[in-house]
Amino acid sequence: MILQALDEEAPAPSLPGQELEVILHGSLSQPVLGIWQRLEEASRSSLHHMAGWCRSWMDTHPGTYLFAEGRLEGNTVFLLPLAVEKRFGARTARFIGTPFSNINTGLFQSGAGLDPVALRQALTRALKGHADLISLERIPLQWREERSPFAAFEHSENRNRSFQMPLDASFEETLKQVNAKRRRKKYRLQQRRLTEAGGYEILEPQTAAEKHALLDEFFRQKAERFRAQGLPDVFEAPAVKAFFHALLDLPVETGRYALRLHGLRLTAGERPILAIAGTSRKADHIICQFGSIRDDLIPEASPGEFLFWHIIEAACRDGAALFDFGIGDQVYKRSWCTVETVQYDVLLPLTARGQLAAGVHRGINRFKAAIKANPRLYGAIQRLRSGGSEAERLETADGEP
């Protein structure tokens, strides 16, 4: 397992004396949208900060949104799309859609060389009066070989890490990272069991009606699984469902889509759908946003893992370079991935109330991290969640979708 973390010895970029200002926009005007679309093209920018993604969230989640435009000597060098929410008793500015983001980066012009002191001061001046706390969560301080402009800010490790698999143009070469012989043998066994059950097909719906129907089936499957585990359903809220349905309707471009659904269905009997996954793509980076399985039908075929075989094989064929399973430590992710990425939370209090909220945030994170670090305690909690089922415990998400 390769741990991708920040090189703490690497010097932060520093350009003393630069004139950096942050201008706040309270609405998404055409000039701001133009800046956004230019900056989102950078490979270092998370697909969760694409304009279509964030606008879908804004359309389904009414609230207060701010767009912090950074100008260096008159030239725009970054944009931060922020939502101001009440958390822990404080007005908190977070990246838009943070609850369902796997990676956050902000939108920065490559090579801008921002001085961290000037950046911190400019953000503080601009947002004070609008928020008590700036909370930028799930940030890899080094990503795609570029250091984050937030690396020099005070930060704490997020309790969740994310897991990636580098892809080769050849699926066979890609498999060599994860014991290709054993993986192929397991795949053939899964395939045989599905064939014995009456046959199967891999779904990738094309029409709007098919896409939305499969997404509704995902919500149904996930709700059942959360209920069985005694966990709250993070997809239950109508606004969350509407958000993902909106992503399905966004235009698909070459090498870019907000949400694509994949499924595994038996072709016999009532043709039940055994597994569903949703992926997003920006350039050569594909992220798995969510997944569900039905474990009441031929669980010995491991339908979720079987579906990922086909998704990753197609990703290699389509020229992707990185398949990202997102945040949350699960056995099936480690079985595929060779890269583990540490993510961080950057907290910048702006007021005394924000200072208190930041302390609560850190305390909750430390508490949850301590539970996860204790295998016996964490296992007991997982057993309680899953009713004692070993299979469910191994596949339960770490509080994430």
Please give the Cα distance from 339 to 133 (Å, whole number).
Answer: 32
User: Are 94 and 86 within 8 A, CB to CB?
Assistant: no
Q: Which pair of tokens denotes residue 228? A: 């069985």
pLDDT at 29 over 80: yes
Relative to beta strand 339-341, strand 2-4 is parallel
Relative to beta strand 90-95, strand 133-139 is parallel
Q: What is the mean pLDDT of the chain?
A: 89
For the residues of 285-315, what is the DSSP string, one character each?
EEEEEEEEE-TTS-GGG-HHHHHHHHHHHHH
Relative to beta strand 146-147, strand 142-143 is antiparallel
Averaged pLDDT for residues 338-352: 95
pLDDT at 276 over 50: yes
Residue 48 class from Cβ within 10 Å (0-12 exposed, 13-18 middle, 19+ buried)? buried
Relative to beta strand 75-87, strand 107-108 is antiparallel
Residue 383, pLDDT score: 54
Residue 397, pLDDT score: 36
Nearest to 153, CA basis, from 355, 345, 369, 366: 345
Residue 19, pLDDT score: 85
Q: Which pair of tokens denotes residue 39? A: 């900056």
Nearest to 277, CA basis, from 326, 209, 207, 228: 326
Residue 400, pLDDT score: 44
Percent of the chain with pLDDT over 70: 88
The more confidently predicted of residues 370 and 161 is: 161
Backbone angles phi, psi at 278, to 5 degrees: -120, 130
Residue 395, pLDDT score: 30
Residue 355 amino acid letter: Q
Backbone angles phi, psi at 334, to 5 degrees: -65, -25
Domains and CATH numbers, the chain: 2-159+344-376 (3.40.630), 164-341 (3.40.630.30)
Four-point Cα dihedral 307, 232, 223, 97, nearest 10: -60
Averaged pLDDT for residues 333-351: 95
Q: What is the pLDDT of residues 163-175, one digit of tens each?
A: 999 999 999 999 9
Q: What is the pLDDT of residues 255-271, one digit of tens each?
A: 999 999 999 999 999 99
Residue 270 CB neighbour total at 10 angstroms: 5
Q: What is the pLDDT of residues 170-223, one digit of tens each?
A: 999 999 999 899 999 999 999 999 999 999 999 999 999 999 999 999 999 999
pLDDT at 394 over 50: no
Least confident range from 119-133, 152-166, 293-307, 368-382: namely 368-382
pLDDT at 381 over 90: no
Averaged pLDDT for residues 125-130: 96
Least confident range from 7-16, 254-263, 366-375: namely 7-16
Please give the Cα distance from 105 to 152 (Å, whole number).
Answer: 14
Cα distances (Å, whole numbers) of residue 79 to 43, 107, 357: 15, 5, 25
Residue 390, pLDDT score: 29
